[in-house]
Amino acid sequence: MLRMRASEIAQAVGGVLHGEDAVVTGSVETDSRLVTPGGAFFAMPGEVTDGHRFVDAALAAGAALVVAERPLEQDVPHVVVADGVVALGALAAEVIRRVRAAGELTVIGVTGSNGKTTTKNMLQAILEEHGPTVSPVKSFNNEVGAPMTMLRIDEATRFLVLEMGASVVGDIARLTAMAHPDLGVVLKVGLAHAGAFGGVEATTRAKTEMVQDLGEHHVAVLNRDDERVRGMAAATRARIAWFGTEPGPADEPTTLWASDVESTLEGTLATIHRGDESWPLRLRILGEHHVMNALAALTVADALGLDLERAIAALGTMPRAERWRMELLEPGGGITVINDAYNASPDSMAAALRSLAHMTRQAARRSVAVLGEMGELGPLSAEEHDRVGRLAVRVRIDRLVVVGTGAKAIHDAAELESSFGQDTVWVEDAEQAEALLRSSLEPGDVVLVKSSLSAGLKDLGDRIGGV
């Protein structure tokens, strides 16, 4: 973070400073275990514990300042605020304002029901070749995680890439008001978190917030293949840069588009087009759906005036999308495991199953799908899990292992769809699934492990994958 005095931080967050006007020279943290000398610690109440309990630990680690929601007994410089989360966002906004004034900061915001983290990582790989780049750790994209990413920048930062997630309508608007993105990327509107939002139309309204406040000198990077994202063009004053799988109309062509998409166990191939030019794309990342994420990242690079061929080459160096996202593991014995159990929605589940089916047919290997629950679907849950089971049959997955009560509809639907019943099994938990897999996997099998994080299958994928 920028070097700031405690009095400046108090003014930025609307708080009251107690104690001396200390200077903060380190990072801002909400976890006392991550505090470093000269840093600031935000003590905030949480769902599990209260950050105020860990003030002493933060001070022992060298915190120069504490931001708290009540006066502290410790004799330490601290700023008292009404709401720690609001204060964190206010400080992030001030830091971005100062860095913009002092340097050449470009802010890129990324949202969508699927693909945010992969696209963020792709942008990091492209942009870091052109200047100091800051992007989120893991999937820090909410009202706490996004400001924490913003607070990592300093005067030298050239690019700031932000994931912007939402639990309710209005969340993305609050994040964009902090960061004021120069480019806003919308990947897809799907059923991820639809239960929390109350339906896909509310999800659409939430994702539209990314582009609504962009000005005429900004760029909205939009997925032309998604009907709901396509409609966002009418909600923004920004210049539109389209990406997709078709060249688009002559009067408003797609900026970048892909053809000849092919998914293999060695990676993903496509041809990238811009006008009359074309380049081969070779990703080491598995799954043809990642071509759309690559297109989004490359469209940002193109809008920034960066060399497209160099950007494509940067994507080719990425070993994986992210930990537990279509992560290829080779445990030995001729078995391949694809661990994709960090997140799951109906769209990403369908994409992963189609990729598994295509890759294994091409390689003449047996496909095994180990599927758990997709979370946060609300009243759509039974229908969408049923749909996944039927899709597994239709794309001809060879063996289906369904794990957990919340996912049982996948197994039930697969049994009903055809005579697939003898090739599908339901088990109660990951331990039973592991025992079944270890006794039945054969050399040459390709195993996809896919679920929401809450289903707890990522560790199963690691164990089967030999990690």
| Backbone torsions φ then ψ of 260, nearest 5 degrees | 55, 40
Instruction: Looking at 131-199, list the stretches that DSSP marks H as alpha helix, in order from N- to C-terminal side.
Output: 145-150, 171-179, 194-197
Cα 133 from chain centroid (whole Å) = 17
Contacts of 386 (CB under 8 A, 6+ apart): 409, 410, 412, 413
Distance CA(53)–CA(241), nearest Å, equals 48
Q: Any idea of the CA torsion for 17, 21, 22, 26, to the nearest 10 degrees?
A: 60
Q: Which helix (H) or strand (E) holds 230?
A: helix 227-230
Contacts of 265 (CB under 8 A, 6+ apart): 286, 328, 336, 359, 363, 446
* Strands of 78-80's sheet in order across: 16-18, 78-80, 65-68, 40-42, 28-29
Closest CA to 92 of 32, 22, 180: 180
Contacts of 38 (CB under 8 A, 6+ apart): 23, 24, 25, 26, 62, 64
Annotated binding site for ATP: 112-118
Annotated binding site: 112-118
- Start-to-end CA distance of the chain, whole Å, equals 35
DSSP 373: P
Instruction: Looking at 128-199, list the stretches that DSSP marks H as alpha helix, in order from N- to C-terminal side.
Output: 145-150, 171-179, 194-197
Distance CA(445)–CA(441), nearest Å, equals 7
Strand partners, 298: none
**CB of 62 closer than 8 Å to CB of 36:** yes
Closest CA to 19 of 71, 59, 91, 86: 71
DSSP 76: S
Cα 449 from chain centroid (whole Å) = 18
